[in-house]
Amino acid sequence: MTLKNMFSAMAIATCISSCSTPRTSEEETLMNWYPSQQYHQSLETSALEKEALEGSTEAELQFAIRLMNGDRVEQDLERGAKIFDKLAKTGDARAQFMLGAAYDQGAGVERDPGQALDLFRESAEQGYDLGQYWYAFMLSRGRGIPEPDWKAALPWFQKASAQGHRLAQFSLGEIYESCRAGLDRNFDLAAYWYRRSFSENPNAASQYNLLRLIDMGLVNWQDGDPGKPQTRIKMLDMSKFEPCDPDAYDPLLK
């Protein structure tokens, strides 16, 4: 699954569609979030809309996704957002996340990062990994709040990572590499989370970061890692590193 940091109104709709795909392996339990997705995705739009109008929450959710994405129906961001709003008010964590994404980018609603943050938090508190990741992401980047708060974001990155969210795992790798959120720099833990991030789902960014750590002699190559075992580079003496300055270490995290 690929999520970018910024989206156009069209792209956020595409994200909403792709983000609803159930996963496998360690994330198998998340299929409970979309128990009838395959069935509803196979329906003709007229049949899906009929079920939605009859009050099926799953049908409403999938119909709103189609409206936002212009999938087999004329795109209607405002109508899709209204459906998400209706479902979010009932406490549906998925709809809360999707409505938050709409508010973050102004897709069918007036852009409001603060409202987006609140909706992501509501979704996160119910255990939805996408809500957890995006709530953490907003906190860490200072979107919807006066300034970035990495310490507040950290536990939500951890919660999403524990559920197998690949971007959250990648973020933890970067956090340990750049010692944010008050954590000590730890290249071994950074490498651990980069490996988790791409272990079952190829992730070019995680592989690149891990390979960079290996090539610099900061961590040892392991079976399954990209590249090859070090043959000439000695492991660096960590005691010679300057004290950690997270604001100067990695501009990609700003």
DSSP 115-174: HHHHHHHHHHHTT-HHHHHHHHHHHHHTSSSSS--HHHHHHHHHHHHHTT-HHHHHHHHH
Specify the CATH number of the domain 1-147.
1.25.40.10
Lowest mean pLDDT among 55-64, 69-78, 237-246: 237-246
Quote the CA–CA distance of 3 and 6 in Å, as a whole number. Answer: 9
| pTM metric for this prediction | 0.83
pLDDT exceeding 90 applies to what percent of the chain? 65
pLDDT score recorded for residue 191 = 96
